Structure 1
Amino acid sequence: MPLAGGPGRRVSRRHLLGTGLALGATGLLAACGSTQPGVSIQPSGNPQPGGTLRVGLTGGGAADTVDAHTPVGTTDIARVINLYETLLYWDDDYTIQPRLATSVTPSEDAMTWTAQLRPGVRFHDGRPMTAEDVVASFERITNPDDPKAGASSLSMLDETVAVDELTVQFRLSTPSAIFDDALAQYMNTIVPADYDPENPIGTGPFKVDSFTPGQQSVFTRNEHYWQDGEPYLDELVILNFDDEDALVNALLSTQVDAIGQIPLALIEVLQTDPRISILNSETGAWLPFTMRVDRPPYDDNRVREAFRLVIDREQMVEQVYSGHGVVGNDLYAPFDPGYPDHLPQRSQDIERARQLLAEAGYPDGLEVELVTAPIQSGAVEAAQVFAQQAAAAGITVNIRRVDATTFFGEDYLHWDFAQDFWYTRNFISQAAQGSLPEAPFNETRWDHPEFNDLVARAREALDEDERDALIAQAMEIEYHEGGYIVWGFSNQADAYQNYVAGLVPNRTGLSLSGYEFRRVWLGEEAR
């Protein structure tokens, strides 16, 4: 199956958009508040099959992929979730639930986890999924010569063994009380033993029809899907947009049916359009500033602390998220049971920031470059607000704005001072992704021996209270010395035409109900 296909293809009865729809900011919200012909009515009753859902997202580029195990940007993640599936998954309330496994249970010493696979699951080409496919999938993810995105969360995995056709054992090198967390991560999906990313076969509700990086992906219904009745859609189309203006304009002109990550400042405005519905979800998603602790001036913790103290967090949440979020305290994983609520809430302290900079050898302030890009709604705005706030402490912030493709290009993870975005995770799985020396996205170059030891011990702790205490200690170290500035947690806001049904709030931080488009269906006018 060739992974090619240009824009302008007709899907069902509606014309798709190609890359970079540049409607511009002029007249962005002209439709809002005006008389709207043919206002749609939200569908009710049982889900109805048929139709094409056109989803608009920003953040894609030439590096886009359909590889099951290497998603990076938002469009990659949306594709992975709809083409492939994990043994377990995080539901809308951020609770682990079964997916391709009906159960995953640990041994008493948590050295062996046994997964019972769901019978009757077939890949897109009709072949049955077996234990051998699961073994091959995890061997591909953890291949030491070419580790994939989820490898760090599986660092304790020593061997994956097919016990029988529908039973798999995960044998670990060290005990892990939270191994099920790793199995629920969207990048640890199951693929056939002979998987080829150029011919992407999975068990997901949709299969690839065409894929053009940075432009659009066209998926069709998987007729072999194991979940009765799902997906309801005949086709799913994911369209890339260069900026938020073009994205919102496409929704208002009914050229797409749903868009992810709308600017939070537009929630109230878009709600005035009777054709449009807003999906507003509280999440643990965060948009940090990242300081490389191995590079000056950020290798001096006094500078890092000063940068954390120049931020007015309430103002940041209000201006960047339009109040649709909560203040952060330089720690991720706010839903983790071990989150240390006892730590003082940081607030702006310009005088103390100036004092710390002087102690670090910058009595007259300093000048830095901050790399930003429209990688997530609010990213560029957050950089601008930070620059304004930091000026009060004598910090001159030169903003270097690049496009998303450049940001995630060869210099990604090498910027001295930049930004990133992360979705909801619990602490240990997030640390494995970004805060340990072997983490694939250790953008701050954080490597603290005591922190590393605490995380390792927490991962092995079978007693929940003991594990939570170890997590709290590790988080306290990162609070005082880490390279992240976690100033807030955003709500996830998306928008869709009223004729779209099946979207519900979701705490994962992923757009549009965690990209679970298998549950979406369309009213009669759209089918």
Structure 2
Amino acid sequence: MKSPFGEAPRQPRRWSRRSIVRAAGVGIPALAAASLVGCGDDDDDAPASGGDTPSAASTPTKTTTTSAISSAKPGDRIPLSETTYFTTTGQKAGGTFHLNTQYAGFTAEPNQAYQGDYIMDRLVYNSLYGVQWPSYATIMYLAKSIEEIDNLNWTVKLRENVKFHNKPPVNGRVLTAEDIVYSFERVLADKTSSFSVTNGFIDKIVAVDATTVKFTAKFPYSSKFDITPLSIVPKGIIEAQGDISKRGIGTGPYTFESDYDPTGVTNFNKNPDFWLKDRPYPNKVEFRHFVDQAAQIAAFRSNQIELLGRALQKPVAESLVSADGVISKEPFLGIPYLGIPMNKPPYTDPRVRQAISLSIDRKELISKLDFGDGNASGPVPWGLGAWALPQKEIDDFYKVNTYAANLAEAKKILEAVGVSSLPAMEILAPADLPIFASGAPLIAGMMRNAGFNVKETLKPLTTVVREHLLVSNFDLIFMQTGTVEDPWASLNPHGQKGVVPGSAGRYGSNDPAIDAALLGVQSATKFEERIAKGQEAQRLILKSYGGQMHLWEANAYFVAKKSLKDYRVSGALSAYDQYDYWLDA
């Protein structure tokens, strides 16, 4: 099919020994989302610990590429079914699937989910719907149908006979519209939740009847079906249970067997009443947090885990081929950036921000941190296709091939500003993520070469996020954007809080022209018009040299053992909602 991205979109496929996408710049180190690692048993090795052995298939295994998603296009609404992604037959049920993230989590409370929590969240809970990358179709999970009444109102009809987990105090009761209202009202009331910000465009939610919910927006919001999905919980769960920070109850494919351990291991059991027929296949999931990459690699080599991904660089991935690894790569959809508080001196002066940008050698960062496997990046990652600005335009703007001249220009700007009058600066970065721990000193050194008085400070990721990023308590911060499919998530951080929907205002952006351009994206109703307006907004954002100053993207590599089947390889959040994988042990 002809894609609005300018080329045919890549569709999810089974693991293969060839790369899934051509080489191009994609962000590697995950930040706002977790790395996925699954475990089954390799064809030639002893079973991994935990779980029973998958039962033999009744018919020979067969997978084709014909599926509902293969012809999907922007605006399509597809109810999730057993053949949405694969038409495999002869799958094996049973076994234990070992999932892994390289990031510490925080809580089992879905409204506060962050980084390492997201995978856990999608095992236990479902959402109404979510965008599917790269087709930009809407996949309907708990929703059976969606009807848009006008540009402010829409109704959602629920699937019939979806049940919550058979655990007290809910005891397997059927999902109703009241649960949807409860879940959305609960998150909108929680001003500490990022989901409260992203869903802040909602004005009212009403249960029309037991299976119908009506939504009303405060203003036209073209991203309403694309934002990070909200997890649905049963009405009254907090009042009955107190909190769900350790274990909760949802409609998802797995139930908690043990309390959530955001730094260790959490066990899950198959939900026998899951609404998708014959899913999930594994009987158990063991979810662990491997913060250290060396430990992940050792576990992969010893067949304790069978999928490594997202934060792997190409040489690391290639080294695992000898351990029966199969390499694939996908757009990561995240961008390392330097966060700059535009509302705090001296960063209120756009010349200072421009000098910072000119002082940074993006090609050198890519070379030293990602083996030269990437490109300079604008506000929207290239993995979102035509939403992103053309690579040549980005390279020309940053003048990536003339760093010596850039450095000279930065020095000239600082001389005009009065470099001796500038205060000492600090770049904050997470100590436990190698690319950021190594990159912060590089960036600080580049800035010092231009004349800035700057040092780097490394702290644990959880501290950087909770005590600095989320509360705008930083001077400069070296982090990475989230890996979400909605381009609005890449654009709204550059808008003014309270003016631009979804903006948390962490970087003090307050440019009326940028705000107007961003609001234009949301007022557009046609997909192509949204793309065009999105690119217009990005050009203004680039010229502001502030907020999230984007640096580069690299390739995200995945390595799997052959025993993991029908797992959709993707850096996108929509890949967390998948129920087709099985273990061919």
Is TM > 0.5 for Structure 1 vs Structure 2? yes
Give, in angstroms, the shift of residue 358 of structure 1: 1.9
Deviates more, 1:267-276 or 1:130-139: 267-276
| Contact 2:419–2:451 (Cα < 8 Å) also in 1 | no
| Contact 1:140–1:147 (Cα < 8 Å) also in 2 | no
Q: How many residues align?
A: 476
Give, in angstroms, the shift of residue 339 of structure 1: 4.3
- 1:180 partner SS: coil
Residue 142 of structure 1 corresponds to which residue in structure 2? 188
* 2:463 is aligned with 1:417: no
Give, in angstroms, the shift of residue 505 of structure 1: 2.8
- 2-structure distance, mates of 1:331, 1:357: 29
State percent identity of aligned pairs.
22
* 2:149 is aligned with 1:103: no
Residue 313 of structure 2 corresponds to which residue in structure 1? 264
| Contact 2:197–2:504 (Cα < 8 Å) also in 1 | no
- 2-structure distance, mates of 1:449, 1:388: 34
| Contact 2:379–2:491 (Cα < 8 Å) also in 1 | no
- 1:378 partner SS: helix
Residues 49-448 of structure 1: pairs in structure 2 closer than 5 A: 49-60=93-104, 64-73=106-115, 75-93=116-134, 95=136, 96-107=138-149, 109-125=150-166, 126-143=172-189, 146=191, 148-182=193-227, 185-186=228-229, 188-196=230-238, 197-198=244-245, 199-210=247-258, 211-331=260-380, 335=384, 337=386, 339-341=388-390, 344-346=396-398, 347=400, 348=403, 349-362=406-419, 367-373=424-430, 378-395=435-452, 397-413=454-470, 414-421=473-480, 422-432=482-492, 435-438=495-498, 439=502, 441-448=504-511
When normalised by structure 1's length, the TM-score is 0.81
* 2:550 is aligned with 1:486: yes
Deviates more, 1:362-371 or 1:409-418: 362-371
Deviates more, 1:48-57 or 1:387-396: 387-396
Deviates more, 1:463-472 or 1:491-500: 463-472
When normalised by structure 2's length, the TM-score is 0.74
| Contact 1:205–1:221 (Cα < 8 Å) also in 2 | yes
Letter in 1 for 2:122: I
Give, in angstroms, the shift of residue 154 of structure 1: 2.2
Superposed CA RMSD: 3.0
Give, in angstroms, the shift of residue 474 of structure 1: 2.6
- 2-structure distance, mates of 1:374, 1:49: 41
Give, in angstroms, the shift of residue 53 of structure 1: 1.7
* 2:564 is aligned with 1:500: yes
Provide Cα deviations, 1:33-54, integer angstroms capped at 9, x if missing partner. xxx98499xx965321111122
Which stretches in structure 2 are left out of the alignment for 5+ residues?
Answer: 1-42, 48-59, 63-89, 167-171, 239-243
Provide Cα deviations, 1:270-322, integer angstroms capped at 9, x if missing partner. 34324223342123221211111122332322121112122232332333233
- 2-structure distance, mates of 1:66, 1:434: 30
- 1:288 partner SS: strand
| Contact 1:88–1:100 (Cα < 8 Å) also in 2 | yes
Provide Cα deviations, 1:157-198, integer angstroms capped at 9, x if missing partner. 11111222222111122122332123xx13x12111123324
Letter in 2 for 1:203: T
- 2-structure distance, mates of 1:432, 1:136: 27
Letter in 1 for 2:95: G
Q: 1:366 to 1:156 in 2, by over 3 A?
A: closer
| Contact 1:354–1:363 (Cα < 8 Å) also in 2 | no
- 2-structure distance, mates of 1:315, 1:351: 17
Which stretches in structure 1 are left out of the alignment for 5+ residues?
Answer: 1-35
Provide Cα deviations, 1:422-457, integer angstroms capped at 9, x if missing partner. 113433344446744145754322232332233234
Match for residue 515 of structure 1 among 542, 562, 576: 576
* 2:520 is aligned with 1:472: no
- 2:367 partner SS: helix
Give, in angstroms, the shift of residue 374 of structure 1: 5.0
Letter in 2 for 1:229: D
